[in-house]
Amino acid sequence: MPNVMSEGDIARKVSRLPGSSCRLDPGDGVQLILRCLKGKLEGRYVGTDMESLLLFSLPLIPRIKERLLVDNGVVIKYQRQGGIYQFQSHVLRIILRPTPLLLVAVPSLLFRIDLRTAPRISCMLPMSLQGRFGEHEGVICDLSEHGIRARFKLTGPSGLRKVQAGDSLVSTFSLGDFGEIMAGVTVRRVETRMDAVTLGLQISELDADEAQAIKGYIEKILFILN
């Protein structure tokens, strides 16, 4: 199996997950290593078919069908929600027209390398998000000193349907005895599911007292859980 994990990756926490837990959104970028070729390819996730195979777009490669007959092994690597994911599989089929598509078997095993350096807790905290698309009420699903993952319900022509990675917003939420928090955040990830959207937010503006409050809140929750 080609090794696409760097020494820095290996030094981080590595988790083994069932292959069925592989989660990608259409359009997500991936790195592909075909064992029949030299080097790495950049591709995109297209979708899945009955959870038995994964579809990826890739550049047009001369004689790719013949090369895959020699060795159809593939390693796929992608980044998602604070982690790098990697799995080994094999190509079931390749479609060349109208655009090259690689049909890959769902792996039995998935590796996750955690990139987060700060502890993160799961929670259910009401929050308000304000920006050029209006004000919206949602729930914080998990929280760290540097980031927030929050979920919002989409109703009608909600302004949140227009939010994109890179947008700057203002979040407000309460940590109970630790006080009220108002933080400037930058959207890093947008995941839309039916009538809801989940946003990955990087905390970009926060005063020292509020930063200490978030840290203290997380430490208290971790102490209780442990």
pLDDT in tens, 42-81: 888 888 875 667 888 888 888 888 888 889 899 999 887 6
pLDDT in tens, 129-154: 998 888 999 999 999 988 999 999 98
Q: Closest Cα to residue 87, out of 70, 100, 106? A: 106
Q: Which CATH class is domain 120-225?
A: mainly beta
CATH superfamily, domain at 7-114 = Electron Transport, Fmn-binding Protein; Chain A (2.30.110.10)
Listed in order, the ranges of the chain carrying CATH 2.30.110.10 are 7-114
At 190, which amino acid appears? V
Strand, helix or coil for residue 146: coil
Strand, helix or coil for residue 139: strand
* 150-177 exposure pattern, b = at least 16 Cβ within 10 A, e = fewer: bbbebeeebebeebeeebebebebebee
φ, ψ of residue 164 to 5 degrees: the values are: -130, 160
Whole-model pTM over 0.75: no
Listed in order, the ranges of the chain carrying CATH 2.40.10.220 are 120-225
Note the Cα 164 to chain centre separation in Å: 15
